[in-house]
Chain A
Amino acid sequence: MMIKRLFFALPGPRPVQVTLAAAILIAAFIALMFVYDWMGNNLLDSGGGIS
């Protein structure tokens, strides 16, 4: 329900809303991968280097 509300709150006609939603999803996915990578390197396995 909340996701639906957020989608309809996007500006512009329906095709613009769909494009914006897709762009936001892709950006969020990339950001999530960076967060996962950072967490993995700092918490799980940094690669074993000595420094």
Chain B
Amino acid sequence: MTERNETVDPAVRRDGWIIRSVRFAGWMSIWVGLFLLGFVAHQLFVTTYLAQQNNEKLEVEAQEYFVTVEYTEIPYVEPGASELTDPVDVRLPVPALKVESPPAAHEAFAIIRVPSLDRLEDGWAIVEGVSRKDLKNGVGHMPSTPLPGQPGNSVFSGHRTTYGAPFHEFDELEPGDIIEVETGIGIHIYEVRETIIVRPTEIWVTQARDGAWLTLTTCNPKFSARERLVVFAELVGGPNFAAISG
């Protein structure tokens, strides 16, 4: 055996090494290709299928929540507005603000519709929470912010590419486009005011605002988590509009 090895031509030995290397590289390319193909299929089709199945159930859950939700009506005084001190100062009575009880964590409590976007024309359920698990259902509400239709800045986050990609077409939104959010107290109508792109750490976009606002955040650009596309929309109609706008 040893004797035979010693007689092998060095050129032939070198060629054998090259062939083995090329074969190894070929097989590795095939396996890496299959891995990446599986990744793309998983992200684009499997996650979307799962999210759509989930969303159908969550929309039913949200509709059931609308029937059972409890709310109270309170007089709304805009922050910073002066109290009635002069007895001669008679103001017209303002409509009361409807305040619904907060939903439980992970519960579907609202439905978002954007008539100008195909993907959100029929609506998408919103769950309470923005954890990774919550967002696998599509759209989540940041619990530390007000509920939609309430004064302040209500913040939602949603997927752009995977898990049904409910916010896929958000780059097509323009000022003046309408966003509807249905909750237990009615349909709140918002109008898009501004769209900006920020870094994922710019939490100022979630801060409180005067009036009633909706802030929607999603990944940007498509197929990347590098930045955030942020849409600001202001309340222009719905059960609480009269109370908030004064």
Q: Is the pair A44, B203 in contact by a Cβ cutoff of 8 Å? A: no
B residues near A (Cβ < 8 Å) are 38-39, 42-43, 47, 130, 132, 135-136, 140, 142, 155, 157-163, 165, 167, 198, 200-203, 205-206, 217-219, 223-225, 228-230
Task: State the main secondary structure of chain B at its contact with A.
Answer: mixed
Pick the contact of A45 from B38, B205, B225 — CB < 8 Å?
B225
Given contacts A41-B132, A44-B223, A45-B159, contact A36 B202 (CB under 8 A): no
At the interface, is chain A mostly helix, strand, loop or mixed?
A: helix
Verify B135–A47 contact, CB threshold 8 A: yes
A38 to chain B, nearest CB (A): 10
A29 to chain B, nearest CB (A): 10
User: Which residues, 4 to 45 on A, are CB-close (under 8 Å) to B?
Assistant: 32-33, 36, 39-45
Give bound CA distance, A33 to B136, whole Å. 14
* A47 and B228 within 8 A (CB): no
Given the interface pairs A49-B135, A50-B157, the reply to whether A40 lies near B38 with Cβ below 8 Å is no
Q: Closest CB-CB distance, B199 to chain A, in whole Å?
A: 9
Chain A residues, Cβ within 8 Å of B142: 49
Chain B residues near A50 (CB, 8 Å)?
Answer: 155, 157, 198, 200-203, 205-206, 217, 228, 230
Residues on B with beta carbons closer than 8 Å to the beta carbon of A36: 38-39, 42-43
Decide: B43 and A49 in contact? CB cutoff 8 A. no
Q: Which of A42, A43, A48 contacts B160 (CB 8 A)?
A: A48
Q: Indicate if the CB atoms of B43 and A40 lie closer than 8 Å.
A: yes
Instruction: Report the minimum CB–CB distance from B227 to chain A (whole Å).
Output: 10
Query: Are B225's CB and A44's CB within 8 A?
Result: yes
